[in-house]
Amino acid sequence: MLRRALLAASASPRLRQLITTAPRTRAIVDSYVAGETADDAVRVTRALHASGLLVTLDYLGEDTTDAAQAAAVADEYVQLLGKLAAEGLTHGGTAEISVKPTAVGLFVRAGLAGQDLATQNIVRVCAAAREAGTTVTLDAEGSDAIEPTHRILSSLRADYPDLGCVIQASLRRSEADCRELAGYGSRVRLCKGAYNEPESVAYVAKREIDLAYARCLKVLMNGAGYPMLATHDPRLIEITGSLATLAGRSADSFEYQMLYGIRPAEQRRLANTGVRMRVYVPYGADWYGYLVRRLAERPSNLALFLRSLGSKS
């Protein structure tokens, strides 16, 4: 309930102003975000790689409203890929890229024109990623962005078969999407879903979402694709391991994924068992939407944050 209320309230300019100017916001942002620049992102990637972790990088920003800004986001990714490649951090997919379709123009223009603009920008990022020896994954956003994102994915899969996508288990459509996307070589990241969706399209009770995740997980692990299991939930991580054994999957045929700053000791523990463990690392100045989703996920984070609003330093 609290989670849904915070997500709903996050569109308010007053709440945005309050959160972005609160005295201790910076410390909380720093615990979830690598920094503001591509050099910060490369530095964090280097450190994670040194401790045996794979990385996916997200340049923060969403719901871009003009074409020039959408192109600038794609430029940022191209430059970032160049910097990562120069340090040998992209080879074999060590560090890959996560792109939000609305950040590269999906809703800048109405309908197919927005989709075309986002596609052009995503193609530029995919081409740079291929040159650097790595891959791109399309993030999943609000439910209004899912259908066009899947259209972009299917239009690009012929040229970029390793272009990955994200499925949000909380959406009622997702089990069917998993069946459709579980084909050979298909890279699919499964997460619970961080957006506020109506009951008509999504499960809203935690138990229902967890059960939906387990069903989607089963489809992906029994399929022929490359599942990327994005969760910090200990029970779902354990189920993933059991399903991998039952399906006879080798350790390099799927991966675990977690967010930067969340359960870092568990990230290292998993990596030390010999499985592939990838950390989602966001960077950039436009961290508001990302931070609100992280606060909403965890009541204790929110309580800490609310206390900091009342403090003077």
Nearer to ligand FDA, 157 or 298 (CB): 298
Near ligand FDA by CB under 6 A, which window of 10-18, 83-91, 128-136, 229-237?
Answer: 229-237
Structure tokens at 22: 């609160």
Binder among 74, 258, 277, 281 for ligand FDA (CB under 6 A):
258
For the CB of residue 147, give the shortest distance to ligand FDA in the complex, in Å: 15
Near ligand FDA by CB under 6 A, which window of 105-113, 180-188, 242-250, 297-305?
Answer: 297-305
- Residue 308 — φ and ψ, nearest 5°? -65, -25
| Residue position matching structure tokens 């927005």 | 114
Q: Is 93 an interacting residue with respect to ligand FDA (CB under 6 A)?
A: no
Q: Is 193 an interacting residue with respect to ligand FDA (CB under 6 A)?
A: yes
Q: Is 166 an interacting residue with respect to ligand FDA (CB under 6 A)?
A: yes
Q: Which residues lie closer than 8 Å to 165 by C-beta, 6 or more apart?
A: 137, 138, 140, 149, 150, 153, 181, 187, 188, 189
For the CB of residue 124, give the shortest distance to ligand FDA in the complex, in Å: 20
Binder among 46, 83, 157, 232 for ligand FDA (CB under 6 A):
232
Nearer to ligand FDA, 90 or 196 (CB): 196
Q: Is 46 an interacting residue with respect to ligand FDA (CB under 6 A)?
A: no
Residue, CB closest to ligand FDA:
232
Alpha helix (H) residue ranges in the chain = 2-9, 13-21, 25-32, 38-50, 67-86, 111-132, 143-156, 174-181, 206-222, 234-246, 264-272, 288-297, 299-310
Total length of the chain: 313
Give the single-character DSSP code of 33: -
Q: Is 280 an interacting residue with respect to ligand FDA (CB under 6 A)?
A: yes
* CA 147 from centroid of its chain's CA atoms: 17
Check if 189 is active-site.
Answer: yes
Q: Is 262 an interacting residue with respect to ligand FDA (CB under 6 A)?
A: yes
Near ligand FDA by CB under 6 A, which window of 39-47, 67-75, 259-267, 283-291?
Answer: 259-267
- CA–CA separation, 149 and 118 (whole Å): 9
Q: Is 304 an interacting residue with respect to ligand FDA (CB under 6 A)?
A: no
Check if 124 is active-site.
Answer: no
Residue 58: name the closest of 289, 281, 262 by CA.
281
- CA–CA separation, 262 and 301 (whole Å): 11
Near ligand FDA by CB under 6 A, which window of 35-43, 110-118, 152-160, 293-301?
Answer: 293-301
Q: Which residues are catalytic?
A: 139, 189
